[in-house]
Amino acid sequence: MKQINFIFTKNGFHIDETKEENTSSWAILFKKYKYSALYELGFENNLKGLTPSAFYLYQLSQKFVELLSNRSELEVAREDTKVEASNEDLEYLMSIIPFAIGTEFIDEKWIQNLFEKLNNQFCLDMKSYKGTVQMYLQEKSQDLKVAKRIYFHLVENEEDADFPFAFLATYATKDKENRIVHMPLKHALVEYKNDQEQLLNLLSCLNVVAQKNTLIAQYMETGDLFHPIKLTSKEAYSLLKSVPDIEACGIKCRVPNWWKKKYSSVKINVNIGDTKPSMFGFDSILSLQPSLIVNGRALTKKEISELLKMEEGLAWLKGQWVEINHNKLQQLLGQMEQYDGTITLKEALTKTYMSNDDDIDVDMGIQISNGKWLRDILGKLKNPSKIKNKAQPKYLNATLRPYQKSGYNWLNQMNDLGFGACLADDMGLGKTLQVISFLEKMYEKKKDGHVLLIVPASLLGNWSKEIDRFAPKMTYYILHGKNNIVHEDTFITITTYGMALRNEFLQDRVWDCLILDEAQAIKNPATKQTRAIKKIPSHMRIAMTGTPIENDLSNLWSLFDFLNKGLLGSASDFKEYTKKVQAYPEYMTKLKMMVSPFILRRLKSR
């Protein structure tokens, strides 16, 4: 499996036919039984060495299997089962989309379409399978924990101050119209009164749960478990803390969202870059402002003091439930001092998105967020349409389309901030015109400036024609062949990758802007050509490419080592980071968040 590469398309995916490795048995299986093979992939474990695209399909199919196995009504629904990804699931699967060819096509509709294909495969299998669903799933994977038919529900009961929570145990069954419903557990005593074996099979998991939670054991002993139960906040807290143990026994728990998403937990929020720094660039100094928060709301010193005096458990504060843990609160108060001060913009970006969490105790609830200024700047870079329009150059002989105007504004904003930029628009969207517009604006301001443009030899004529057409007043010179002298009175020097490698004197000047067309030419950080080009000093750097990232994350590091050196750490640091991407998908999310402000990518198909 690790040798297969996939190309994502608008309607799904296909195997990369150009790879010789695709003669493997998995490749043959995918060619012959495309979606059944994808379905089976979700049951695999410990797959290593997959290409990013293959690993994403593995994650997607595994998420489907996880949702499938977690359905308590699965045993009674069988081939009528319909697994759909929730908004939260879709958000997760969207967040871990890798850097790979065609990933721009992946959206929620694309994911839902693949889920439908996987669901159809499961239903097809169920129609001919004679055993139980549990047997079927465990034949697929011995490690798979299949949900039982019982659900535990814990909800708020706002009308009763003494018993602010309510608990109910239900089970999945079918009604008279053959529809799947969840009924209170007491109905099972009636449904299976003549079938003790079925009843015992249904309730067997409760004995296991009772060994792990004394409250459930008590409810079983008294028979209360078969009826709705009022709970105190203390009793509810006991159950909420036991949710992982309960679900490990196969019983699914439906609990308030504020507990599931840890909104009730007290955390440290470190706000970075609330105000505009005095200077721009990666060395800009930003402020750090730590505070204790609950569900995004800052706590006052008085409220913190009150929490420390309260009994541990759940407390009602500011119109919401708050978890009180004295030891954790004291530790959080002590750690706040570590996050009070200043930080550079480069450190802020790497700390926010590339942190390995070695210096942050996630369980302690320390989160780092962007302040108003930093959030506003990064938001505009990710969405150039929000950037204030820059006046077009006076002598530009072209009318920019709206998306080209956005790209022009974005390049100017990146230059103003001192950031390197990757313009990665799809072929045919006018990357060349956007760059020429940016350079013409630069020429307006500084006619004695110097720009170095490095292109493949085959594009020298094209750039010459485009500059003559769109910016006829802008001076340029082609450094190629025997013409290997830089003209001091020329604004743009256009040369080739081969010439840039051979002419080290290009490294003797600090250029106002260094531009690479077809920047995938530096995707391999080890080549002499890449190393030579990275040595050329410049204030601003632009990489133009229609394929910013292929299927190797080292390409991404090399690109950013050129654009914004140090932002992704050293080559060895980044290699260690990428090893964690497969084990922890959130690392891919962090990486994408890290680089997205610096890459502008638009598709013709969107």
Asked if 235 and 229 count as a contact pair (C-beta separation under 8 A), the reply is no
pTM summary value: 0.79
CA distances from 252 to 52, 68, 131, 262, 312 (A): 32, 13, 23, 18, 26
- H/E stretch holding 529: helix 528-534
pLDDT at 362: 44
Asked if 149 and 181 count as a contact pair (C-beta separation under 8 A), the reply is no
Alpha carbon 350 to its chain centroid, in Å, reads 15
Q: What whole-number distance in Å separates Cα of residue 387 and Cα of residue 409?
A: 7
pLDDT in tens, 367-393: 778 888 888 888 889 889 899 999 999
| Angle of helix 108-128 versus helix 87-95 axis, rounded to 10 | 110
CA distances from 502 to 194, 460, 468, 485, 542 (A): 89, 17, 28, 12, 21
What DSSP designation does 10 have?
A: T
- Domain limits, CATH 3.40.50.10810, in the chain: 383-600
Q: What whole-number distance in Å separates Cα of residue 510 and Cα of residue 457?
A: 23
Q: How many CB atoms lie within 10 A of CB 594?
A: 17
Closest CA to 523 of 496, 490, 560, 559: 559
Q: What whole-number distance in Å separates Cα of residue 481 and Cα of residue 477?
A: 13
At 368, list the tokens.
């780092």
Asked if 85 and 45 count as a contact pair (C-beta separation under 8 A), the reply is no
What DSSP designation does 229 have?
A: E
Sign of CA dihedral 294, 298, 301, 302: negative
pLDDT in tens, 71-121: 989 999 999 999 999 999 999 999 888 877 788 889 999 999 999 999 999
Closest CA to 28 of 41, 11, 43, 15: 15
pLDDT at 364: 54
At 215, list the tokens.
């409250």
Work out the pLDDT band at 360, boundaries 50, 70, 90: very low
Closest CA to 23 of 3, 44, 51: 3
| Better-scored residue on pLDDT, 352 or 80 | 80
Instruction: Measure the CA angle with vertex 85, ends 80 and 89; round to 5°.
Output: 150
Asked if 325 and 308 count as a contact pair (C-beta separation under 8 A), the reply is no
Beta bridge partners of 493: 452, 477
| Better-scored residue on pLDDT, 449 or 27 | 449
pLDDT in tens, 140-189: 988 888 888 999 999 999 889 899 999 999 999 988 888 899 999 999 99
Q: Taking 70 as the threshold, does the pLDDT of residue 17 lie above it?
A: no
pLDDT in tens, 535-580: 999 999 999 998 766 657 888 899 999 999 988 888 998 888 888 8
Q: What whole-number distance in Å separates Cα of residue 79 and Cα of residue 72?
A: 14
pLDDT at 358: 40
pLDDT in tens, 457-467: 999 999 999 99
Residues in CB range of 223: below 8 A, 6 or more apart = none
DSSP codes of every residue in 92-131: HHHHT--S-TTGGG--HHHHHHHHHHHHHHHHHHHHH--S
Q: Provide CATH code, domain 383-600.
A: 3.40.50.10810
Work out the pLDDT band at 414, boundaries 50, 70, 90: very high
At 258, list the tokens.
């504020």
Amino acid identity for residue 375 in this structure: R
Q: What whole-number distance in Å separates Cα of residue 37 and Cα of residue 118?
A: 10
Sign of CA dihedral 8, 12, 18, 20: positive
pLDDT at 31: 80
Residues in CB range of 159: below 8 A, 6 or more apart = none
Instruction: Measure the CA angle with vertex 250, ends 246 and 256; round to 5°.
Output: 50
Share of the chain above pLDDT 70, in %: 93
Work out the pLDDT band at 605, boundaries 50, 70, 90: low
pLDDT in tens, 210-247: 998 999 999 999 999 999 999 999 999 999 999 999 99
Q: What whole-number distance in Å separates Cα of residue 357 and Cα of residue 35?
A: 37
Q: Is 478 helix (H, G, I), strand (E, B) or coil?
A: strand
Work out the pLDDT band at 354, boundaries 50, 70, 90: low
At 552, list the tokens.
């190797």
Q: Taking 80 as the threshold, does the pLDDT of residue 345 lie above it?
A: yes
pLDDT at 427: 85
Work out the pLDDT band at 353, boundaries 50, 70, 90: low
Amino acid identity for residue 215 in this structure: L
pLDDT at 548: 66
Q: Is 12 helix (H, G, I), strand (E, B) or coil?
A: strand
Sign of CA dihedral 171, 175, 178, 180: negative
Q: What whole-number distance in Å separates Cα of residue 322 and Cα of residue 233?
A: 11
Provide the b/e sequence for 519-543 (b: ≥16 CB within 10 Å). bbbbbebeeeebebbbebebebbbb
pLDDT at 357: 45
Half-sphere exposure of 66 (CA within 13 A, CB side): 10
Asked if 598 and 421 count as a contact pair (C-beta separation under 8 A), the reply is yes
Residues in CB range of 149: below 8 A, 6 or more apart = 72, 73, 75, 76, 171, 172, 173, 202
Q: Taking 80 as the threshold, does the pLDDT of residue 352 lie above it?
A: no
pLDDT at 411: 97
Average pLDDT, the chain: 88
DSSP codes of every residue in 238-293: HHHHTHHHHHHTT-EEE--HHHHTTTTSEEEEEEE--S--SS-STT-EEEEEEEEE
